[in-house]
Structure 1
């Protein structure tokens, strides 16, 4: 009795490989922006905890920016307010990631200290 062969054809393997490669390339380009966002969140949290005036908070954020090597925003871009006697720092920015030709990924980041 003959059994049917099972498995993936060469074209199937090539197609799956191409999909995996595209996903890996996109992930490799998105990962640094996510790490930058995390560094900005930490810097905003430290600045909110360390300063009591708007100028002190912006300066503390700019010092953290120099130490953590991110370029997306600066102290001028922060929105600083007070809620229930607690300083809240908010920010928002966009990052464009070029894929190929006219194709881009637009990442919109927004953060707020607690």
Structure 2
């Protein structure tokens, strides 16, 4: 009788529950593994334009050339080119901004579109 009662009081996860959580965690991992490189690229671009704006280039072409040199060194910057930068100057301070969309393929015809936007500080 005590063995039967012990079996009835057992708690655990069922096979169906285990499969459900495996699919959820696996899907989340796939998405994370595909999104993390795009986030790292965004932060690399942000650091590059912050440095260029801090150096205060004298002209817009000089700022674009500085970004192009950075792109040649930082192999991870592939989503944006120097011509995509919006460069303004106000009160002797250079302000650089950018915006771009990144499509991340998930599976088959399914894509995740991420909109990145940033400006120099």
Deviations, residues 17-72 of structure 1 (Å, cap 9, x unaligned) = 11101100100000000000011111111222231210110000010111111111
Query: 1 or 2 for the larger relative contact order (CA 8 Å, sep ≥6)?
Result: 2
Q: Equivalences for 1:14-53 in 2 at 5 Å?
A: 14-50=19-55, 51-53=57-59
Rg comparison, structure with higher value: 2
How many pairs were matched up? 114
Q: 1:67 aligns with which of 64, 69, 73?
A: 73
Q: Which residue of 1 aligns with 2:96?
A: 89
Could you tell me which runs of 5 or more consecutive residues in structure 2 were left unpaired when the two chains were aligned.
none
Could you tell me which runs of 5 or more consecutive residues in structure 1 were left unpaired when the two chains were aligned.
none
After superposition, the CA RMSD in angstroms is 1.2
Q: Which residue of 2 aligns with 1:99?
A: 106
Q: Tell me the TM-score normalised to structure 1 length.
A: 0.94
Q: 2:61 aligns with which of 55, 62, 67?
A: 55
With 27-36 and 41-50 compared, the bigger mean Cα shift is at: 41-50
Residues 89 and 112 in structure 1, CA contact (< 8 A), matched pair in contact too: yes
Q: Distance in 1 between matches of 2:81 and 2:113?
A: 20
